[in-house]
Copies of this chain bind each other. A is one copy, B any other.
Amino acid sequence: MSKYRNSCLIRGDGGRAIRGILDRIGDKWTLLVVATLDGERMRFTELQQRIPGISQRMLTRTVRHLERDGLVSRTAYAEVPPRVEYELTAMGRTLIGPAVKLAEWAVDKNPDIEQSQAAYDSEHRG
């Protein structure tokens, strides 16, 4: 079970795959929106309330992108006042796993990283 050099999957086609996914989820809000929709169908306003700090504009843009990528489905009801609900598609749900792996890494290593940063900073400008 050699774990070495499976990073070829990352470098793969010159990094196009990784570049693609990071362009997709590497921004400020996308993964938060996906995680917030995990297991729950939700309206625009509720989504916004559950993601502190996100503006209407950025939430709109983010769910549009996700809808275009087929990761989120949007359902508009012909009512007054209007009602729109969002939920993860089957494909969108498959993103949760890998994303959680990354989040686990982040939570686990964050203390070490911050310590390394502090050491680097104090050393590189005494």
Main secondary structure of the interface of A (DSSP, over half): helix
Interface 1/0s, chain A 1-19, versus B by CB < 8 A? 0011111111110110111
Q: Is A55 at the interface (CB under 8 A from chain B)?
A: no
Cβ of A80 under 8 Å from chain B: no
Q: Mark A45-79, 1 if CB is under 8 A from B, else 0.
A: 00000011100000000000001111100000000
Q: How far is the CA of A1 from the CA of B21 in the complex (A)?
A: 27
Count contacts on A: residues with CB < 8 A to the other chain: 62
Residues of A that sit less than 8 Å from B by CB: 3-12, 14-15, 17-22, 24-28, 31-32, 34-36, 38-39, 51-53, 67-71, 91, 94-107, 109-110, 112-113, 115-117, 120-121
